[in-house]
Amino acid sequence: MLDIKFIRENPDIVKNACRVKNFPDIVDDLLNLDTRVRELKTITQTKTAEKNKISKEIPTAADKAPLIKRSKEIGEEIAADMAELAEKEILLNDLMHRVPQIPDASAPIGADDSANVEIKRVGNPRNFDFSPRAQWDLLDMNNWWAPEKIAGICGTRTYCLCGEAAELELAVETFVIQKLIAKGFKYIECPSITKPQTIFNAGHFMGSDMSVMNDDVFMLTGTDRCLAGTAEIILNSLHADEILSENDLPIKYAGFSPCFRKEAGAAGRDTRGLVRFHQFNKVEQYIFCKPEQSDEMHELLLNNLCEIMEDLELPYRVIANSTGDMGFNKVKMNDVEAWFPSENTYRELGSCSSIGTFQARRTNTRYRENGTNDVKFVATLNNTGIALPRALVPIIENHQNADGSVNIPKKLQPLMGGRTKIGGKH
């Protein structure tokens, strides 16, 4: 959420953010409510002081009746004002949670992903000297999955990798985790079960009514828990209500967890293959830093994922996401997309996002500034380290051979027992 003082002083900037991000402009309503809330607080404070003054006068007054009557009247007025104040504060809180983050000036302006801008392309799509197979054909011929059997056991949008493909998935996860640890990230294996408030605090959903999450989040019926859709959710709250030392910043985490999503908004999309599931695994990069460090940390996170694409020997490109495609809580966002030969296009494998102080205001995560001793909100950023099994699709499709085998990228070979390829007729 944004600072109410910022909204009061910069209403046009906030209105523009609503417009370019395609969210309702509720700024005028919010400011009117804010004015009324402040008025009511002043009124109740003034009346309370008056009532206290009368209460002190009553014991020594020659005629107590008028004072007692006035004290009672003021008490009733205060009760009515307090009731209105409570109601207005609830409404104001809801509107505060409906104001989107202000996008960075560098973000392309546009309504959706059609306005995204390619800013870098690395590597060239491979020219095959045979007819390349799609991911599902490679998985079928090598007995690397059992989609019908698992769907019958577990339901749709579930997957199960078998044999060498499962080993490859583990190797990719392990490689990325080890790479991030070597870069100074602290590895955390995160739980997937959490409280709805934790998800709400990450700022992906609008408003104060947490039931809005029900279409996307698996709620655990009969409990006060739910399943998180990313390790970002847990990492974001690790320092909730803490005041960190400036010397501790930036704090860099590499979180791993199974992720759970209803995918309610993706009906009919990617029903075949390894792209979209209710459960998947992800390594997440997450940083707490000073706001002025945010641009530097964004580049660090983005470069890490670009390096991982190169380690996996994948052609890829980097996208600057438009204001209408970056979502509710982001200052700026870059997608990293790998080449999918079967679709003859690039598809997203990770998103690097600067959030500013938006999440920290929800979690009340702050730091104490050296020298001044001032307490300020931290900035947060996140980026995918790797998401699986989605990342296996470009790996097996780009590195396939005519016999259906798949070459293992050199940097993964030590984690695959020295093997240089899997599958096929070897």
Report pLDDT digits (tens) over 61-76. Answer: 888 888 889 999 999 9
Q: Which residues pair with 288 in a beta bridge?
A: 251, 380
- Residues 67, 176 within the same domain: no
- Domain count across the chain: 2
Structure tokens that stand for 103 in this block: 């996008």
Q: Are 15 and 68 in the same domain?
A: yes
pTM equals 0.92
CATH number at residue 11: 1.10.287.40
Task: Kindly state whether residue 317 falls inside one of the protein's structural domains.
Answer: yes
Question: One of 276, 347, 368, 419 is an active-site residue; which one?
Answer: 276
- In this structure, the strands spanning 186-189 and 251-260 are parallel
Mark whether 117 and 92 lie in a shared domain: no
* Residue 103 belongs to some domain of the structure: no
The yes-or-no answer on residue 322 being catalytic is no
* Within-domain flag for 218: yes
In a domain, 271, yes or no: yes
Q: Which of 133, 362, 390, 405 is catalytic?
A: 390
What pLDDT score was predicted for residue 204? 87
Are 290 and 345 part of one and the same domain? yes
Distance of CA 25 to the CA centre of its chain: 22
Same domain, 150 and 296: yes
Which of the residues 351, 353, 354, 405 is marked catalytic? Answer: 351
Q: Which residues are bridge partners to 33 per DSSP? A: none
Amino acid code (one letter) for 232: E
Is 294 assigned a catalytic role? no
In-domain check, residue 106: no
Distance CA 226, CA 220 (A): 5
Are 87 and 195 contained in the same domain?
Answer: no
Taking the CA of residue 277 as centre, how many other CA atoms within 13 Å lie in the half-sphere pointing to its CB?
Answer: 23
For 308, the domain range is 113-423
List C-alpha distances in Å: 271 to 277, 307, 340.
Answer: 9, 30, 16
Catalytic residue among 126, 348, 368, 419: 348
Catalytic residue among 98, 133, 261, 366: 261
Based on the domain organization, do 292 and 337 belong to the same domain? yes
Single out the residue in 96, 124, 142 at which a domain terminates. Answer: 96
Catalytic-residue membership of 114: no
Task: State whether 13 and 138 are in the same domain.
Answer: no
State whether 236 and 182 are in the same domain.
yes
Is 73 among the domain residues?
Answer: yes
Find out whether 250 and 219 touch, Cβ atoms under 8 Å. Answer: no
Q: 174 and 79 share a domain?
A: no
Which of 66, 96, 126 is at the close of a domain? 96
| Domain containing residue 201: CATH number | 3.30.930.10
Q: Is the domain of 156 the same as that of 262?
A: yes
Any catalytic annotation for residue 351?
yes
Could you say which residues of the chain have pLDDT below 70?
Answer: 264-271, 425-426
Q: 417 in the Ramachandran plot: left (φ > 0), alpha (ψ -120 to 50) or beta?
A: left
pLDDT (0 to 100) of residue 270: 53
Whether 276 sits among the annotated catalytic residues: the reply is yes
Do 374 and 305 share a domain, yes or no?
Answer: yes
pLDDT, tens digit (0-9, with 9 covering 90-100), for 10-27: 999 999 999 999 999 999
